[in-house]
């Protein structure tokens, strides 16, 4: 007898959709087979009823140390990144280990309920006492049976521009972060910005860690640290172990420079993370009209062969007051914000919160629906990724390492319409658009 059997799930591969049975034992996918009338005995059976099966959602960029602090001690009234940083620096002295741990775990439970089982969180290390870092290192252990949590040492107030910034970054590496961060556009001078990238690369290489830099999160067309980061990634051979997050200045680059930049980024093999919810709200705040979007050139970078993922970034914190830790909402907003609306492009937005985000985290064989891999997945009552994004479908079942951890029943609306019997409305489309 096996531990868990999933019957009749809709699996979409390069060969198209098919109905499959999934055999799971000891937390691992044992078999993925065409659905059968004679399945093996199982301790638990989930009837997928034709629901789409997908590898879990992946959050490539969030700030769990700041989450759920919106309005503490005051609200960000201007809506700028800069007032957000000021609010956060006022909140930071109030941080305690339990405060950070409880808020982070609350939001990780929201993530799990929404089917997100891999999360990369930045944690501010520009704090003499590294309170948030120690709290999140503890959280990483506490949640590891359910969620894989990667921690990025994020120097919110700079590496070169903050007292002992370099030492704090190194100390964070020593304490066990997974990824080294940077924030070159925030440093006092351009030279400090370039040097901060070199410091980050040096620490990452000495500790064998990845890099994920907040890069050019500003509406300044002169902010061009991504060319520095990509070139370092290329020349050191770190390549796909490097990620540039936000890259909002790209929304202001001229066409000639954008053309040159696409070649540099594609050659380097780095990942980009665009955070559409938050940067649509934060950017363009100093513009009158026309007002810029301030987002990564997602469509163009994808066309150039660059791996791009969508992140949530903030959830109820000084930079963004909304959010429910739902990656489908992020992908839905991203489709609009980056004008990815052709049917195949909408499907690509789904990949940007699943496969492409997984590649950003470097999950490798630890991710995906295949024999021998960890049995973590979601069932989505939908026909395909396009359908998931359009109707913003929530997973009916979330399974982590073979254990069912979340269920969400369907919630249809009953409509009474003139000339018709009362009927359930689920907003399902009546014909396939794209697989």
Q: Which stretch binds Fe ion (CB under 5 A): 310-318, 320-328, 370-378, 405-413?
A: 310-318
Site stretch for Fe ion (CB under 5 A), options 13-21, 42-50, 312-320, 392-400: 312-320
Which residue number, 100 or 393, has a Cβ lying nearer to Fe ion?
100
Q: Which is nearer to Fe ion, 99 or 313 (CB)?
A: 313
Minimum CB–partner distance for residue 251 and Fe ion (Å): 16
Q: ∠ CA 29-364-356 to the nearest 5 degrees?
A: 105
Look up tokens 């950070």; give the residue: 100
Q: Which of 59, 170, 187, 217 is catalytic?
A: 217
- Provide the mask over 250-279, with x wherever binding to Fe ion is found by CB under 5 A and - wherever it is not: ------------------------------
| 348 touches Fe ion (CB under 5 A) | no
Among the candidate windows 143-151, 173-181, 306-314, 365-373, which touches Fe ion by CB under 5 A?
Answer: 306-314
Provide the token pair at 201.
Answer: 């690369």
Residue number with CB closer to Fe ion (63 or 332): 63
Torsions phi, psi of 10, nearest 5?
Answer: -95, 110
217 is catalytic: yes
Question: From the list 21, 25, 313, 387, which residue makes contact with Fe ion (rule: CB under 5 A)?
Answer: 313
* Shorter beta-carbon distance to Fe ion: residue 131 or 244: 244
In DSSP notation, 282-293 reads HTTTT--SS---
Question: What is the 3 state secondary structure string of 403-418?
Answer: EEEEECCCCCEEECCC
> How far apart (Å, rounded) are the C-alpha atoms in residues 92 and 141?
23
Nearest residue (CB) to Fe ion, 124 versus 313: 313
CB of 275 to Fe ion, least distance (A): 6
Q: Residue 23 belongs to what H/E stretch?
A: strand 16-25
108-112 long-range contacts, Cβ below 8 Å, gap at least 24?
108/64, 108/139, 108/143, 108/147, 108/149, 110/315, 110/324, 110/325, 110/326, 111/59, 111/147, 111/325, 112/146, 112/147, 112/398, 112/400, 112/405, 112/406
- Residue of this chain nearest to Fe ion (CB atom): 313
Residues that bind Fe ion (CB under 5 A): 313
| Residue numbers annotated as active site | 217
């Amino acid at each position: 007898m096996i531990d868990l059997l999933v019957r009749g799930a809709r699996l979409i591969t390069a060969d198209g959709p098919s109905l499959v049975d999934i055999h799971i034992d000891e937390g691992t996918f044992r078999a993925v087979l065409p659905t059968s009338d004679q399945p093996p005995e199982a301790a638990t059976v989930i009837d997928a009823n034709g629901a789409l099966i997908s590898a879990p959602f992946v959050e490539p960029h969030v700030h769990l140390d700041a989450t759920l602090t919106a309005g503490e001690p005051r609200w960000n009234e201007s809506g700028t990144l800069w007032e957000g940083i000021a609010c956060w620096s006022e909140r930071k002295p109030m941080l305690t280990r339990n405060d950070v741990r409880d808020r982070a775990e609350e939001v990780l439970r929201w993530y799990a309920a929404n089917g997100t089982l891999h999360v990369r969180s930045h944690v501010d290390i520009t704090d003499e006492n590294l309170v948030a870092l120690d709290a999140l290192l503890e959280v990483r252990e506490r949640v590891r049976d359910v969620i894989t949590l990667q921690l990025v040492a994020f120097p919110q107030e700079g590496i070169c521009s903050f007292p002992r910034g370099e030492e704090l970054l190194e100390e964070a590496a020593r304490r066990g972060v997974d990824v080294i961060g940077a924030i070159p556009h925030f440093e006092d001078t351009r030279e400090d910005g370039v040097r901060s990238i070199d410091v980050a690369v040096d620490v990452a290489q000495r500790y064998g860690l990845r890099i994920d830099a907040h890069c050019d999160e500003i509406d300044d067309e002169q902010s061009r640290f991504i060319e520095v980061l990509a070139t370092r990634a290329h020349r050191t051979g770190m390549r796909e172990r490097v990620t540039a997050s936000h890259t909002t200045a790209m929304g202001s680059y001229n066409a000639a420079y954008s053309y040159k930049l696409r070649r540099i980024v594609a050659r380097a093999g780095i990942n980009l993370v665009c955070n559409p919810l938050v940067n649509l709200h934060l950017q363009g705040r100093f513009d009158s009209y026309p007002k810029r979007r301030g987002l990564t050139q997602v469509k163009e970078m994808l066309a150039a062969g660059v791996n791009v993922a969508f992140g949530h970034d903030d959830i109820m914190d000084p930079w963004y007051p909304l959010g429910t830790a739902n990656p489908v909402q992020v992908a839905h907003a991203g489709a609009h914000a980056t004008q990815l609306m052709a049917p195949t492009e909408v499907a690509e937005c789904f990949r940007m919160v699943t496969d492409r985000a997984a590649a950003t985290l470097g999950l490798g064989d630890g991710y995906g629906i295949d024999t021998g891999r960890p049995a973590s997945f979601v069932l989505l009552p939908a026909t395909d990724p396009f359908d998931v994004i359009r109707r913003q479908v929530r997973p009916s079942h979330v399974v982590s390492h073979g254990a069912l951890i979340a269920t969400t029943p369907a919630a249809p609306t009953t409509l009474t319409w003139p000339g018709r019997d009362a009927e359930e409305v689920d907003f399902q489309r009546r014909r396939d658009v794209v697989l």
